[in-house]
Amino acid sequence: MNSFIGRRSLSSGISLIGLIVLIFFLSRLTGDPTGLYLPLDASLEARDNFRVVHGLNDPLIQQFGRYLVDILQFDFGDSIRKARPALDVVLEAFPWTLWLAAVTMICVTIAAIVIGSLAAFNVGGPFDRLSGMLSLAAASAPDFWIAILGIFFFSVYLGWVPTSGTGTLWHWVLPVSVLFIRPFGLILQVVRGSMINALSSAYVKTARAKGVRERSIIFVHALRNAMLPVVTVIGDQAAGMLNGAVVVETIFGFPGIGKLMIDSILQRDFAVVLAAIMVTALAIFLMNLLIDLLYAVLDPRIRY
């Protein structure tokens, strides 16, 4: 197990270094941020002073080398926009995204497992056909379109929930609902297919022959063996949300890391962009490692 964790850490570290190189140089291609932070009539001396203060006058390779040395000391630089350490800015936004993803994925997982299992138990029946149509529609629905419809109908027309912000639980209803739909459709289909295979297996037939109750067969015997592919899809979807539910956070003004990255890119706040990407990449690595370890719990035959 320790060697597996070591190999995964090494491969993730190499990927992270490649990502840092790519994002660092691509972010510099967006242009000089001086024009965004100084007035149009700022003197040449003021512009030069701004670049010197933020290390933008140095050659690009020198800037990159200095950045690598700094991050090895956990110094991610300062945010130009907020005049604060970039890591502090990112760590303030990240818990919002983490909570948003956690609440959404808990709701998605429970709903998809229950409905998918019942659909598999009633293959070909009305409930199975209805859940199949809903899952296909949900999996193909674009987030921005659902978000706009949700704001128009539930906020503007009915006035039930606010359009943006985070002040109350009602502010979470639309962002969570919009993020819920697509993963729900995908995971429901995987649960249904995996459960159909599990319910037709020999051990389930043996359990039925012994008189085990159907509820126990579905949610105890079959579900555990059907969970491996489901866990993979859940992990992928959760990683996508941690990577920044960019569209949803931007539309609903949710102060998560996705909105922070968009704002920082538009404001050419390079230090915050890089810090946000590194924190997100580390979180995704830890989550994928947790999912790999969960495989061994679900299936004792798996060894690392």
Q: Tell me, yes or no, whether 249 and 122 share the same domain.
A: yes
Q: Tell me, yes or no, whether 157 and 95 share the same domain.
A: yes
By CB neighbour count within 10 A (0-12 exposed, 13-18 middle, 19+ buried), where does 39 fall? exposed
Q: Tell me, yes or no, whether 148 and 252 share the same domain.
A: yes
- Tokens found for residue 91: 């760590």
In a domain, 128, yes or no: yes
Out of 86, 118, 149, pick the residue that ends a domain.
86
Q: Tell me, yes or no, whether 6 and 93 share the same domain.
A: no
- Give the integer Cα–Cα distance in Å for 122 and 136: 18
* Stated pTM of the model: 0.82
Q: Tell me, yes or no, whether 155 and 234 share the same domain.
A: yes
Q: Tell me, yes or no, whether 136 and 276 share the same domain.
A: yes
- Give the integer Cα–Cα distance in Å for 259 and 273: 11
Q: Tell me, yes or no, whether 146 and 268 share the same domain.
A: yes
- Give the integer Cα–Cα distance in Å for 108 and 184: 5
| Owning domain of residue 185 | 88-298
Q: Tell me, yes or no, whether 62 and 178 share the same domain.
A: no
Out of 86, 114, 137, pick the residue that ends a domain.
86
pLDDT, residue 108, reads 92
Q: Tell me, yes or no, whether 146 and 192 share the same domain.
A: yes
Q: Tell me, yes or no, whether 171 and 234 share the same domain.
A: yes
Q: Tell me, yes or no, whether 82 and 98 share the same domain.
A: no
Out of 49, 64, 86, pick the residue that ends a domain.
86
Q: How many domains does the chain have?
A: 2
In a domain, 131, yes or no: yes
In a domain, 27, yes or no: yes
Q: To which residue do tokens 């850490």 refer?
A: 9
In a domain, 303, yes or no: no
Q: Tell me, yes or no, whether 77 and 116 share the same domain.
A: no
In a domain, 304, yes or no: no
Nearest to 188 by CA among 255, 146, 140, 156: 140
Which residues, 6+ apart, have CB-to-CB distance to 194 below 8 Å? Answer: 226, 227, 228, 229, 230
Taking phi over 0 as left and psi of -120 to 50 as alpha, with beta for the rest, 85 belongs to beta
Which residue ranges in the chain fall short of pLDDT 50? none
